Structure 1
């Protein structure tokens, strides 16, 4: 069951993006008095198993030393950043995606950088971040900074995407809790589009405004938020209701947010779909950290 030990799992690999993720994860864990598990899945066997030539022992020893150095340095940085934080660190000879996915079964949260050492300059998001967000059993945060920043933002609202699905309800729950802990306002965005053509979309927005359909959708949105507003009366909530592509609305709002929260797939997805177009777009392009909320066990 996800969250069984309440730990935060953060993947590191010595890259700058992973170090930012480590710092974000350490602060999140310290705020909740949760343990932090630092994992470097270097996948030595996976990297060299396909080669027929034997790997010299000196190379293996060097790689193992490097892996241990990376996790030790990460653990020290987390402890320095959050004194008193319970930190464990392991370098494991496993490919990153299955290693992190397996550990997500008992984690409260999995945190990753947007790209790792395997990425390249200008890369949107690493394959590990995308794959873990698609397969993890716990929520996954991909730590993005945005243009012109060296660290992710720590101010601004929490933005959550809603579409009426059970998964978006789980995202709303997470978003309200994040807003409460950070004393931040919450922006609840309900956006949908029946067409992709930009001209048709502009006309659809025009005809939607101040219509019975808009009032009906607004009433459903208010109903979805009512229970959470009662549970978290201290959280200031702004509702955004618009006929537009959800990914565009959420990406635009990520420029001033400190966190965007979405379900791994939305109402427009199909059964068995692992990651929707909106969550993928945010992982690749958002200007702040993105929390991707996964379905519960047995939820399709």
Structure 2
């Protein structure tokens, strides 16, 4: 009996678009830095089965499924060969799924060896479809491991090492995002920037009722935001003492603070829902807005 634990892997969805190619290269680079393997996944599913009339409409092109499957297998082989030319030491697996794209990636995400799921933000209607579409939203809402989204245009230079930008607000999802960010920073040797955004209390006073006078002092509000960040950082700093940390208490909306801090080379990490979020929502407004506005990779952590 073989008791050797299975190699942990980054799961990456590909569909032949430039966006999914960036996702593949980023995934491979991260896997090499972290001592992981990757699993390249694409899906073939009957398009006519989707929508309200899927059950009563039959395909008129009997050859279409087999043709799509051949194209998908050729794509997987090409992706594998391409990434191994850049990272010959990488352990690569391929997986062709006969399922909806979101279901295919979610099935892989639930396997014990899955470390993260990576997709492109703009695809060709397949696995790495536009994040505003159903595939990306469903993955962000249901993936048990962090989901990383690469933008359509991303300069993912081989060996490039950006910073880890983490949004901190004291919520539980934010706390898990912070731990993921520290682990990522530790494994790849990156600097971590903890961003705790704050806004003047005067902007919310009319909706909050009586507010103590000191709450209108911007210095007091900023100091409270910084304390929140420092309190949240105490545990991860002790666990990863070698990680260099820069704390930023920024007077801005959280989305603006994160997007203005990050460069295309940096990884932004946010919780799926922040403080004050509704548990029934698929994804918080901050995480959605960051995904739409980012020029570099974004990780969503539950």
TM over 0.5: yes
Report which stretch shifted further, 187-196 or 85-94: 187-196
What are the within-5 Å matches in structure 2 for residues 264-279 of structure 1? 264-279=272-287
Shift of 1:210: 2.1
Report which stretch shifted further, 188-197 or 124-133: 188-197
Cα offsets for 1:184-205 (capped at 9, x unmatched): 221101114488979x9xxxxx
**Separation in structure 2 between the aligned mates of residue 90 and residue 133 of structure 1, nearest angstrom:** 21
Q: Is the 8 A contact 1:11 1:100 kept in 2?
A: yes
Give SS of 1:210's match: helix
Aligned to 2:259: 251
How big is the alpha-carbon RMSD for the aligned residues of Structure 1 and Structure 2? 3.0
Aligned to 1:233: 241
Match of 2:40 among 29, 38, 41: 38
User: CA 1:32/1:157 → structure 2, altered by over 3 Å: closer, same or farther?
Assistant: closer
Q: Is the 8 A contact 1:158 1:260 kept in 2?
A: yes
Q: Which runs of 5+ in 1 are unaligned?
A: 201-205, 295-300
What are the within-5 Å matches in structure 2 for residues 27-106 of structure 1? 27-44=29-46, 49=54, 52-106=57-111
Cα offsets for 1:60-92 (capped at 9, x unmatched): 322111111111111112222222322111221
Cα offsets for 1:27-62 (capped at 9, x unmatched): 112222222111101223655755734443332322
User: CA 1:208/1:286 → structure 2, altered by over 3 Å: closer, same or farther?
Assistant: farther
Aligned to 1:210: 219
TM (norm. structure 2) is: 0.82
> Number of paired residues?
281
User: CA 1:166/1:52 → structure 2, altered by over 3 Å: closer, same or farther?
Assistant: closer
User: CA 1:47/1:222 → structure 2, altered by over 3 Å: closer, same or farther?
Assistant: same
Match of 1:164 among 152, 164, 170: 170
**Separation in structure 2 between the aligned mates of residue 124 and residue 227 of structure 1, nearest angstrom:** 33
**Separation in structure 2 between the aligned mates of residue 263 and residue 152 of structure 1, nearest angstrom:** 26
Match of 1:175 among 181, 185, 192: 181
**Separation in structure 1 between the aligned mates of residue 170 and residue 239 of structure 2, nearest angstrom:** 19
Q: Is the 8 A contact 1:5 1:108 kept in 2?
A: no
TM (norm. structure 1) is: 0.82
Shift of 1:285: 1.3
Q: Is the 8 A contact 2:101 2:135 kept in 1?
A: yes
User: CA 1:124/1:227 → structure 2, altered by over 3 Å: closer, same or farther?
Assistant: closer
Q: Which runs of 5+ in 2 are unaligned?
A: 1-5, 207-214
1:138 correspondence with 2:148: no
Q: Is the 8 A contact 1:42 1:95 kept in 2?
A: yes
